[in-house]
């Protein structure tokens, strides 16, 4: 039996939020520093592109094994390992004498980033009462796009003022806060850090398949990448639509998407408490679809584009927390880590596929039309889960 929580440990939410900010901010902040990094270390674009890929590949590939490992690991030591490892690799990259050390550090950083993503759901499930989970996950999931949008601005400012190494050194204070808050806020469960073992990869695939075979989890997991693909695509294509305008204007237009999320996300949990997680998640996906359809009529004015992006952001604010709460509610305790890994994997794939769609189609109108179709399918899958008990 699962013990009933007497109270929600909001310190645990703050701790995992700090970890999510680390992983998401680093994903985009580094891109701005690549030309300066390459010039300093004597590396051309063919090498510096791997600074991004070396982080992204393990982030995707290790999400599922990390989740399976977390089914047996203690939440607090696993969290401390993930953020501590992220901080250690950040320091390694910051003092790197050459590009080879940077690439090795980025690969390790991506591995710890996968662990940060996978540990979030188990910690929320173990430290947050059911009636607060939509709010808690809404806070955490809002920080992902907010950090992603803020990343280029933060990375550019730090690189201009202090050089490219500061982009990695700035992670260290965040790691310190995450460790301190995590030690106080995350409940210890008496478990340690088991040795991964040779069977971990096979087990992660087998148990990942168990998660996907459960009808109660398969539908929301299938809907998730379809719903979030639009965020990745729009972050890629909107700057090309607004080419020629000042960078700060482009940044403000994109910020409208994240601002809509930030405004609605805290309220979504309260609404979900009254009307149910699945209903509010469906309503949010519907608002995302409406906002995407509105983009088909967007003009050349950046602010005409911004308010339509804000509508999409409002939809994501309604969708993210309640949808995650549905997954938490339906996942058996023994599969919580694996489910967290699968969720991180499909969400990351959704974000990654979005820019590929934009790049392949080229034009803004064609991209939005495809996003309407993809999002509509996501809405249908979200609606279908209303009938699954």
Domain ranges of the chain: 1-190, 197-389
Please determine whether the domains at 1-190 and 197-389 fall in the same fold group of CATH.
yes
For range 354-378, the mean pLDDT = 86
Copy the structure tokens of residue 66. Answer: 């990390």
Range of weakest confidence among 162-171, 245-254, 365-374 = 245-254
Averaging pLDDT over each range in 56-65, 179-188, 193-202, 334-343, which range is the top one? Answer: 179-188
Q: What is the mean pLDDT of residues 235-262?
A: 79
SS3 386: helix
Architecture of the 197-389 domain: Up-down Bundle (1.20)
d(CA 191, CA 104): 30
Among 214-223, 256-265, 304-313, 353-362, name the one with the lowest average pLDDT: 353-362
pLDDT digits (tens, 9 = 90+) for 273-311: 778 888 999 999 999 999 999 999 887 788 899 999 999
C-alpha–C-alpha distance, residues 53 and 198, integer Å = 26
Separation between Cα atoms, residue 297 and residue 366, nearest integer Å: 12
pLDDT at 2 over 70: no
Residue 388's pLDDT is 64
Two tokens, residue 342: 């699968």
Q: So what's the pLDDT on residue 1?
A: 39
Task: With H, G, I as helix, E, B as strand and everything else as coil, classify residue 345.
Answer: helix
Q: What is the pLDDT of residues 42-87, one digit of tens each?
A: 988 778 878 888 888 888 888 888 888 888 888 899 999 999 999 9
Instruction: Identify the weakest region by mean pLDDT among 142-151, 255-264, 325-334.
Output: 142-151
Closest CA to 229 of 379, 73, 109: 379
Q: Which one, of 265, 262, 295, 260, lies nearest residue 280 by Cα?
A: 265
Q: What is the mean pLDDT of the chain?
A: 85
Q: In sequence order, what E strands does the chain have? A: none
Q: How far apart are CA 336 and CA 329, in angstroms?
A: 10
Residue 230: the pLDDT is 87
Give the Cα separation of 224 and 208 in Å (integer). Answer: 16
- The region of weakest confidence among 9-18, 138-147, 341-350, 370-379 is 138-147
Compute how many other C-beta atoms are within 10 angstroms of the C-beta atom of residue 309: 25
Topology of the domain covering 1-190: Growth Hormone; Chain: A; (1.20.1250)
Contact 120, 108 (CB under 8 A): no
Between 356 and 222, the more confident residue is 222
Tell me how crowded residue 81 is: count the other CB atoms within 10 A of its CB: 17
pTM, entire model: 0.77
pLDDT tens track for 130-140: 888 878 887 88
The answer on pLDDT for 35 being more than 80 is: yes
In angstroms, the CA 242 to CA 302 distance is 7
Q: In degrees, to the nearest 5, what angle opens at C-alpha 329 toward C-alphas 325 and 333?
A: 125
Q: What does the pLDDT average to over 325-343?
A: 83
Phi first, then psi: give them for residue 197, nearest 5 degrees: 80, 160
Mean pLDDT to the nearest integer, 236-241? 80
Tell whether the model's pLDDT for residue 201 goes beyond 60: yes
Proportion of the chain above pLDDT 70, given as a percent: 97
**Which whole number is the average pLDDT over 308-315?**
94
Structure confidence at residue 174 (pLDDT): 92
Q: So what's the pLDDT on residue 3?
A: 55
What pLDDT, on the 0 to 100 scale, is given for residue 245? Answer: 77
Tell me, what's the pLDDT at 71? 81
């Amino acid at each position: 039996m699962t013990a009933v929580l007497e109270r929600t440990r909001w310190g645990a939410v703050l701790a995992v939020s700090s970890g999510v900010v680390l992983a998401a901010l680093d994903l985009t902040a580094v891109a701005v520093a690549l030309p300066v990094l390459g010039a300093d270390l004597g590396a051309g674009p063919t090498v510096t592109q791997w600074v991004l890929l070396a982080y992204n590949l393990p982030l995707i590939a290790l999400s599922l094994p990390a989740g399976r490992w977390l089914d047996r690991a203690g939440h607090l030591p696993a969290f401390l390992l993930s953020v501590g490892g992220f901080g250690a690799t950040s320091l390694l990259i910051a003092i790197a004498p050459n590009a080879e050390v940077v690439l090795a550090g980025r690969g390790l950083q991506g591995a710890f980033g996968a662990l940060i993503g996978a540990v979030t759901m188990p910690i929320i499930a173990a430290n947050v009462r059911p009636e607060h989970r939509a709010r808690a996950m809404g806070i955490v999931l809002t920080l992902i796009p907010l950090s992603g949008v803020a990343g280029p601005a933060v990375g550019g400012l730090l690189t201009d003022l202090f050089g490219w190494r500061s982009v990695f050194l700035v992670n260290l204070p965040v790691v310190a806060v995450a460790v301190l808050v995590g030690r106080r806020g995350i409940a210890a469960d008496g478990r340690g850090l088991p040795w991964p073992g040779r069977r971990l990869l096979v087990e992660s695939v087998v148990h990942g398949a168990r998660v996907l075979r459960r009808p109660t989890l398969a539908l929301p997991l299938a809907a998730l990448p379809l719903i979030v693909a639009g965020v990745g695509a729009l972050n890629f294509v909107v700057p090309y639509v607004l080419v020629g305008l000042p960078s700060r204007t482009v940044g403000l237009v994109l910020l409208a998407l994240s601002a809509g999320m930030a405004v609605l996300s805290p309220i979504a949990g309260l609404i979900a408490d009254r009307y149910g997680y699945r209903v509010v998640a469906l309503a949010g996906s519907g608002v995302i679809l409406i906002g995407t359809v509105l983009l088909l009529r967007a003009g050349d004015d950046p602010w005409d584009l911004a308010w339509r992006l804000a509508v999409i952001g409002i939809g994501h604010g309604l969708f993210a927390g309640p949808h995650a709460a549905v997954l938490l509610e339906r996942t058996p305790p023994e599969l919580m880590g694996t489910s967290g890994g699968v969720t991180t994997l499909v969400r990351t794939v959704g974000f990654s596929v979005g820019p590929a769609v934009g790049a392949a189609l080229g034009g803004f109108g064609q991209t939005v039309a495809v996003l309407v179709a993809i999002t509509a399918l996501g809405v249908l899958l979200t609606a279908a889960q209303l009938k699954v008990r």
